[in-house]
C-alpha cells in the first residue's frame, strides 16, 4: 500500500487470539487525528502469520495486508497479542521483527501481552516494560533481565509498550501529542469522549484503598508487606511489629474490613501467584511452590486443591488443553 509523503505509517503485527479492544484503541485515535486535522498524519496496516486474516480472542476476524515475512518499511511496528500467547510459536514473528529493526530502522513496540514476545526475542533486556497486569507474575519469573513496571504504558524507552485495553489509547494520545501538539491530542480525546487521558506513570490497577473500600493505613501497609514477601512469607507477628500494632489489632483489622484473617488472606494471595505461574510459565511444580512461599510440593498441592478443587498439575493440564483448542472461525 502507498503511504503519502510526511505520513507516519504504523504496522500492527497481530498474533492469533489478540485483544480486539486494544486494536481498536490503537487505530481509532490515529484515524480521528487525521479526521480532526484534515491531514493524512497517520496510516496503518495489519500483519499476521498467514498474511490473510487474524482472529481475536472475541472471535472477530481482521483482514490483514501483510504476512510477517513481508512487513513493509514503517515508522512504528507494534506487536499485539492476547491470551495464551505463551503457548504459541513466535519464531517467524521474532525473525521478522529482527529484520525490520536491522534493515528498516522501524521503532518497535508492544501492546497488551505483546511484550512477552519481544522479551522472548531478547529485545527488552534492560528496558523498562509494561505488560497487562495479568501476566506480571509469569513475566517476572521468565524474564528477570527485563525491568517490569506496573505503569499503563512506557513511552520513554527505545521500545515502547502499553499494557493493553484503554492503556493503548493513552499511549496513542501521548504519541499524537508528542508528534503534533497538545491541542490536537485534546481534540482527538474529545472526539473519543475520553475525558481523562492517563500519563505513563499511572498504575494499571485500581488503588488498594479503592479496591478494599477503606483508607485504613495499617491494613493497606500490611497487605503491601505481604505482597513484597510472597516467596518468603513473614508471620503476622512480624507484620504487626513492623506496623507498630499488636497481632490482635492486626487480626481485628482484617476481620472488620475483609471478613478474613491475616493468615488466610496471605495464603490466598500466594495461591493466586501460584496459579498465575502455573499457567504463564514452564516452571516445575516444586519451583512454583517455592516461588509462592510453600515449603514443599506436597503441602502446596494439598492447599491448592483445597482452594481450587484441582491439583496444580491438573490445573496446568487444563489450561494447556484450553490454550491449544483452535479458535473457531466464523463461516
Same domain membership, residue 283 and residue 187: no
Domain boundary, last residue among 128, 161, 191: 191
Same domain membership, residue 160 and residue 76: yes
Q: What is the CATH number of the domain that holds 213?
A: 1.10.10.60
d(C-alpha 146, C-alpha 39), whole Å: 38
In 3D space, the residue among 327, 285, 328 whose CA is nearest the CA of residue 17 turns out to be 327
Residue 203 lies in a domain: no
d(C-alpha 145, C-alpha 105), whole Å: 24
Same domain membership, residue 307 and residue 173: no
Same domain membership, residue 180 and residue 214: no
CA distances in angstroms from 227 to 60, 239, 272, listed in the order given:
37, 12, 11
In 3D space, the residue among 237, 227, 240 whose CA is nearest the CA of residue 268 turns out to be 227
Residue 312 lies in a domain: yes
Q: What is the CATH number of the domain that holds 76?
A: 3.40.50.880
Residue 170 lies in a domain: yes
Q: What is the pLDDT of residue 23?
A: 97
Residue 84 lies in a domain: yes
Residues of the chain with pLDDT under 50: 206-207, 210, 325-331
- Let me know: does 117 contact 110? Beta carbons within 8 Å: yes
Q: What is the pLDDT of residue 6?
A: 82
d(C-alpha 304, C-alpha 316), whole Å: 12
Q: What is the pLDDT of residue 203?
A: 59
Same domain membership, residue 48 and residue 120: yes
In 3D space, the residue among 166, 160, 170, 136 whose CA is nearest the CA of residue 150 turns out to be 136
Residues of the domain holding 83: 8-191
Question: How many CB atoms are closer than 10 A to CB 265?
Answer: 17
Same domain membership, residue 62 and residue 109: yes
In 3D space, the residue among 176, 155, 192, 162 whose CA is nearest the CA of residue 42 turns out to be 176
Q: What is the pLDDT of residue 137?
A: 87
Same domain membership, residue 214 and residue 187: no
Residue 112 lies in a domain: yes
Domain boundary, last residue among 141, 158, 191: 191
Same domain membership, residue 187 and residue 84: yes
CA triple 272-274-278, angle to 5 deg: 120
Residue 289 lies in a domain: yes
Q: What is the pLDDT of residue 82?
A: 92
- Let me know: does 34 contact 40? Beta carbons within 8 Å: yes
Residue 202 lies in a domain: no
Tens digit of pLDDT for each residue in 133-146?
888 888 988 999 99
Place of cell 508492544: 110
In 3D space, the residue among 15, 33, 20, 30 whose CA is nearest the CA of residue 165 turns out to be 20
Q: What is the pLDDT of residue 74?
A: 94
Percentage of the residues of the chain whose pLDDT score is greater than 70? 89
Domain boundary, last residue among 132, 166, 191: 191
Helices (H), the chain: 20-37, 91-103, 114-120, 136-142, 166-180, 182-191, 208-212, 217-228, 236-243, 247-258, 262-280, 285-291, 297-308, 312-324
Half-sphere exposure of 308 (CA within 13 A, CB side): 23
Q: What is the pLDDT of residue 318?
A: 79
User: How many domains is the chain built from?
Assistant: 2
Same domain membership, residue 174 and residue 46: yes
10: CB partners within 8 A, 6+ apart: 26, 30, 42, 43, 44, 45, 74, 75, 76, 77, 78
Same domain membership, residue 162 and residue 20: yes
Same domain membership, residue 120 and residue 269: no
Residue 307 lies in a domain: yes
d(C-alpha 185, C-alpha 33), whole Å: 8
Same domain membership, residue 179 and residue 213: no
- Let me know: does 283 contact 141? Beta carbons within 8 Å: yes
In 3D space, the residue among 266, 259, 254 whose CA is nearest the CA of residue 216 turns out to be 254
Amino acid at each position: 500500500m502507498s503511504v503519502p509523503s510526511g505520513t507516519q505509517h504504523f504496522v500492527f503485527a497481530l498474533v492469533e487470539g489478540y485483544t480486539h479492544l486494544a486494536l481498536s484503541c490503537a487505530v481509532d485515535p490515529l484515524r480521528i487525528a487525521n479526521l480532526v486535522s484534515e491531514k493524512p498524519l497517520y496510516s496503518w496496516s495489519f500483519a499476521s502469520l498467514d498474511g490473510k486474516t487474524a482472529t481475536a480472542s472475541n472471535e472477530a476476524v481482521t483482514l490483514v495486508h501483510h504476512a510477517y515475512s513481508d512487513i513493509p518499511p514503517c515508522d512504528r511496528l507494534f506487536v499485539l497479542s492476547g491470551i495464551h500467547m505463551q503457548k504459541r510459536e513466535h519464531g517467524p514473528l521474532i525473525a521478522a521483527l529482527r529484520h525490520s529493526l536491522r534493515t528498516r530502522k522501524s521503532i518497535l513496540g508492544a501492546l497488551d501481552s505483546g511484550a512477552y514476545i519481544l522479551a522472548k526475542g531478547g529485545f527488552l533486556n534492560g528496558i523498562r516494560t509494561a505488560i497487562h497486569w495479568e501476566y506480571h507474575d509469569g513475566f517476572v519469573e521468565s524474564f528477570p533481565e527485563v525491568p517490569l513496571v506496573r505503569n499503563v504504558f512506557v513511552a520513554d524507552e527505545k521500545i515502547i509498550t502499553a499494557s493493553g485495553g484503554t492503556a493503548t489509547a493513552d499511549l496513542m494520545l501521548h504519541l499524537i501529542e508528542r508528534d503534533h501538539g497538545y491541542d490536537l491530542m485534546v481534540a482527538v480525546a474529545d472526539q473519543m469522549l475520553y475525558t481523562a487521558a492517563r500519563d505513563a506513570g499511572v498504575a494499571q490497577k485500581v488503588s488498594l484503598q479503592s479496591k478494599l473500600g477503606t483508607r485504613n493505613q495499617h491494613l493497606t501497609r500490611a497487605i503491601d508487606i505481604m505482597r513484597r514477601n510472597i516467596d518468603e512469607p513473614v508471620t503476622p507477628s512480624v507484620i504487626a511489629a513492623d506496623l507498630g500494632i499488636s497481632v490482635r489489632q492486626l487480626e481485628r483489622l482484617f476481620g472488620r474490613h475483609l471478613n478474613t484473617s491475616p493468615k488466610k488472606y496471605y495464603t490466598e494471595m500466594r495461591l493466586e501467584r501460584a496459579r498465575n505461574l502455573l499457567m504463564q510459565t514452564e516452571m516445575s511444580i516444586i519451583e512454583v511452590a517455592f516461588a509462592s512461599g510453600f515449603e514443599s510440593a506436597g503441602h502446596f498441592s494439598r492447599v491448592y486443591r483445597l482452594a481450587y478443587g484441582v491439583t496444580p498439575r491438573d490445573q496446568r493440564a487444563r489450561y494447556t488443553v484450553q490454550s491449544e483448542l483452535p479458535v473457531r472461525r466464523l463461516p
